[in-house]
Amino acid sequence: MLQQTQVNTVIPYFKRFTDKFKTLKSLSRSSEKKILKLWEGLGYYRRARNLLLTSKILVNSHDSKLPKTIKEIKTLPGVGDYTANALLSLVYNKPGIALDGNVKRVFSRIINKKENKINFDKFIEINKKKFFITKRNSDFVEALMEFGALICKPKDPKCNICSLNKNCKYFNSSKKIKSNKNKMIKNKNFDVFCYINKKKQIALTKKNNLGFLNHYSLPGIRETRNHIKNKNWKLLKQYKKSISNKKLNINLYYKFSNKIPPSFNWYSIEKNKEFIPTFTKKIFKQVSTLF
Ligand code: SF4
């Protein structure tokens, strides 16, 4: 849950999730539908799907235990280098470094070299005798991430109180490297088409080829350069929305209709037991103003 999402946002979700699933076994017996409903609003839904798949693999093939080698851990769905190292250190106290954005920034500043110029695997290999002198590998991996989040922050690092400042090239250099900026793709325009009916229903489909919105329940949506000029569709609202690192300009259109394309199904705008992503919920809110 914490990948790409802040702690404060995660806390209520984590509580609900762990209240519902007290053991790995109970999670493995759940359905994707239930998991997505509990995850609703948290975004990056692939994480939820992978968590469910992983729980099934662990229960069925690993006696409900996490494997002990990095090679085996990395075969689990959604688990790459970062998660595998974090798990090995946190669960089994094995030496490892979970290279997230915070940790990469710390290393990059200490040697005052841009992140994209560093081979991090090589960097860790060369320095492993310095890194892994502790027996508290679990604390070390956690501390490194926290250090990046709280002290060596992206903006205004707290160099004056930093215990590494004597040996930090960034701090001691007059020519400091610049931090990597998050890449934002600007001004992507999307036309969203909502079929609605008098029963306060909206037609949604999971069939779309929008990449970052795949598998979601959405109205008709397509990327566009210009606004459509089609008498059949009425413009309801224009607004901006950010999804992961994308900024979207949304043109929301609607029409009342009883006929919908074959891959669409009707969903109630007001009450829904289905998992509805936040992007679509915002559309529900706009459409409900028509009734
Ligand atoms: S001295 Fe500053 S830049 Fe260097 S590690 Fe500490 S907080 Fe980061």
For 138-153, the pLDDT digits (tens) are 999 999 989 998 999 9
Q: What is the reported pLDDT for 142?
A: 92
Q: How far is the CA of 104 from the centre of ligand 1 (A)?
A: 12
Cα gap 130→107, rounded to integer Å: 13
Q: Write out the DSSP string of 114-138.
A: -GGG--HHHHHHHHHHHHTT-S-HH
Q: What is the reported pLDDT for 273?
A: 77
Kindly report the number of other CB atoms within 10 A of residue 277's CB atom: 21
Ligand 1 atom 4 nearest Cα: 168
Q: What is the reported pLDDT for 236?
A: 92
Q: What is the reported pLDDT for 186?
A: 67
Q: Which residues of the chain have pLDDT under 70?
A: 180-186, 211-215, 226-230, 244
pLDDT digits (tens, 9 = 90+) for 191-231: 899 999 999 999 999 887 776 666 678 888 888 876 666 67
Q: How far is the CA of 21 from the centre of ligand 1 (A)?
A: 40
Q: How far is the CA of 198 from the centre of ligand 1 (A)?
A: 60
Q: What is the reported pLDDT for 46?
A: 87
Domains parsed from the chain with CATH numbers: 7-172 (1.10.340.30), 186-290 (3.90.79.10)
H or E element that contains 206: none
Q: Ligand 1 pocket: which of 105, 106, 174 to mutate (most atoms <8 Å of CB)?
A: 106
H or E element that contains 145: helix 137-150
For ligand 1, whether the C-beta of 158 sits within 6 Å is yes
β-bridge pairing 265-268 and 201-204: antiparallel
Residues sharing a CB contact under 8 Å with residue 152, sequence separation 6 or more, in sequence order? 102, 105, 106, 109, 158, 162
Q: What is the per-residue burial (b if ≥16 Cβ within 10 Å, else e) of 74-100?
A: eebeebebbbbbbbbbbeeebbbbbbb
Q: What is the reported pLDDT for 182?
A: 61
Query: If you search the block for the tokens 């020519």, which residue do you land on?
Result: 175
Cα gap 231→164, rounded to integer Å: 65
